Amino acid sequence: MSEDKNKEKKPWSERIREKYRLVVMNNDTFEEMGSYNFTQLRMYIWGGLAIFGVGLLTFLLISFTPLRKVIPGYGDIREHAEIYRLNQQIDEMEAELKAQKTYTESFRKILVGDIETEEDVETAAEEVPDSLPSVERIQEDEELRKEIELDEIEQKEVLEAKKEGAARNLTLDQLNFYPPVSGSVSAGFMPEKKHLGVDIMSPKNTPIKAVLDGVVVSADWTVETGNTIAIQHSNNVITFYKHNSALLKKAGDLVKTGEAIAIIGNTGTLSSGPHLHFELWHDGQAVDPTVYISF
């Protein structure tokens, strides 16, 4: 009894160092197959090392293998940054596409003559009903009405000024066109054959000039016409210069009369030699350039 009490009173630090023996025996013959010596301390150490090893292996698998992608909420921060950058690019492309659609629609209206005039603005303004209810006027209301009346007077003055400016619009006969290039006309204006301009033969590398002041509304390449540039002028005039070897201006550039805008070339499937295909449009209709320009 005293030995059991002494054993129970041993401190924990000594008990974990006590040696034990694990014997493996054959159940039928009681033959000893093997024996293993161990202590509690050694078991704790090996158990802790095993847990640490499993944890380290799990961390390495999750951090450096594709296994991390199957764990919800876990991912590479670089992937999130890439997704954010791609979303930004998609938003920018959508905005550019919307602006391009608006530009194309405006350009189409110019070509077909579907342009809102001052008369349309006046008619639309007259058709707007006065939906304001009848209320007792107060001092602030009187001041607001006076401001609105002044704004209406200013708008009418602006519309009248626009009308006077429209009345002074020049016809094509009154405009002084600068020849885009000097040379011989190899193919004339033939709208019945869908040839809406003239072909002008000129030496290689000849610069092509703007016929009037204006703004470049298109400078691009197409399969049929090659390098093509279009310029919007005043008085609802648009000019096209096609089959160029190079373009010297881009969309949005302001150009002056006689300023070089391109180099004559032979680009596009509809071209069979170095020449300029020049088109002159007025109020949405193609006209014969040779009537107004001497090449």
Question: pTM here?
Answer: 0.45
The 10 Å Cβ neighbour count of residue 11 is: 7
Instruction: Report pLDDT for 73.
Output: 59
Using DSSP, state whether 118 is helix, strand or coil.
Answer: helix
DSSP 10-59: S-HHHHTT-EEEEEEE-TTT--EEEEEEEEHHHHHHHHHHHHHHHHHHHH
Asked if 172 and 292 count as a contact pair (C-beta separation under 8 A), the reply is yes
Q: Are the C-beta atoms of residues 242 and 228 closer than 8 Å to each other?
A: yes
* Mean pLDDT (10-residue bins), the chain, 295 residues: 56 79 81 79 87 89 73 58 81 87 76 60 55 59 74 70 56 90 92 92 92 94 91 93 93 93 90 89 92 90
* 178-291 placed in CATH 3.40.50.970: no
